[in-house]
Amino acid sequence: ADDIKKKLPLTDQKILVTAGPTYEAIDPVRFIGNHSSGKMGFALADELASLGADVTLIAGPTAQISKYHSIKRIDVVSAADMLTQCLEHFTDANACVMCAAVADYTPAHVSAQKIKKHDDGLNIQLKKTTDILKTLGQQKRANQVLVGFALETQNEEQYAIDKLQKKNLDLIVLNSLNDEGAGFKNDTNKVTLIDRSLNKTTYDLKNKTEVAHDICVKLTQLLKK
């Protein structure tokens, strides 16, 4: 069995994957979240594990279950929790794929008690979260590979390239919500991969498992460079 394992393309590669949404608490019973299902990140973690990688999966609240027992799963709730875990596990990773839909804003104050309703409206003040991917991009060593996602509804390619450059990524996976069958809750996705040299590959609409495979092929090439 050891001989077979050694032949896999990602054996001995430690890869960090994030998946799912984050939940930002408003009070003990309410939160601000998003529609991420976690399917894409879990498909990526499974695919990486099947290629022999040593996968750590940092997951926001999700109903997904990994196929491989070898995947080390760390459950988190908020963007702040995810940042803490990413910082702890990025240092000894060869690559990180940041697939999670991290909240950009979080309530400035979390009410210790359930907020009671009143006749008027309610304003919740929000503050910015830390950009985890950008932070990892600043810490990245020359031999580490950092992959981000970009979810866009307009100017897709330009916004994706801006993110690739600003966050010091090696690869960005562009997800356009304009493509039928792509995005959050679907089992399918349609992506464009853009690397640092701005090589661009657009793929057909596929199962998230197949999309994960396409991303892993590119990631394997980047790790071998």
- Which residues make up each annotated binding site? 104, 114, 149, 163, 167
Judged by CB under 5 A, which stretch of 13-21, 38-46, 102-110, 199-207 contacts Ca ion?
102-110
Q: Which is nearer to ligand CTP, 9 or 33 (CB)?
A: 33
Phi, psi for 89 (deg, rounded to 5): -105, -10
Give the closest residue to 24 by CA, choosing from 98, 136, 108, 95: 108
Query: Of 12, 104, 187, 204, which lies in the binding site for ligand CTP, with binding defined by CB under 6 A?
Result: 104
Q: Which two tokens stand for residue 126?
A: 């929000």
Question: According to CB under 5 A, which one of 12, 88, 104, 204 is a site residue for Ca ion?
Answer: 104
Which residue carries 């990602």 as its tokens? 10
Which residues are known binding-site members for CTP? Answer: 104, 114, 149, 163, 167
Cβ 102 vs Cβ 79: under 8 Å: yes
Among 4, 14, 92, CA closest to 48: 14
Least separation in angstroms between CB 8 and Ca ion: 34
**168 belongs to the catalytic site:** no
Contact, 160 vs 198, CB < 8 A? no
Strand boundaries in the chain, DSSP class E? 14-19, 24-27, 30-32, 54-59, 72-75, 95-98, 105-107, 126-128, 145-152, 171-176, 188-189, 191-195, 200-202, 206-207
Interaction partner, residue 44 (ligand CTP, Ca ion, none; CB < 5-8 Å by kind): none
Least CB distance from residue 100 to Ca ion, whole Å? 10
Segment interacting with Ca ion (CB under 5 A) among 35-43, 62-70, 99-107, 136-144? 99-107
Q: How close are the terminal C-alpha atoms of the chain, in Å?
A: 28
CA neighbor of 50 nearest in space, from 66, 32, 73, 26: 66
User: Which stretch, 28-36, 39-47, 98-106, 116-124, contacts ligand CTP (CB under 6 A)?
Assistant: 98-106
Site for ligand CTP in 124-183 (CB under 6 A): 129, 131-133, 148-151, 163
Identify residues 10-39 at the interface with ligand CTP (CB under 6 A): none
Helix-, strand-, coil-residue percentages of the chain, each rounded to 5: 30, 25, 45
Does 191 participate in binding ligand CTP (rule CB under 6 A)? Answer: no
Judged by beta carbon, residue 52 or residue 189, the one nearer ligand CTP is 189
Active site residues: 34
Residues of this chain that interact with Ca ion (CB under 5 A) are 104
Residues of this chain that interact with ligand CTP (CB under 6 A) are 79, 98, 100, 102, 104, 129, 131-133, 148-151, 163
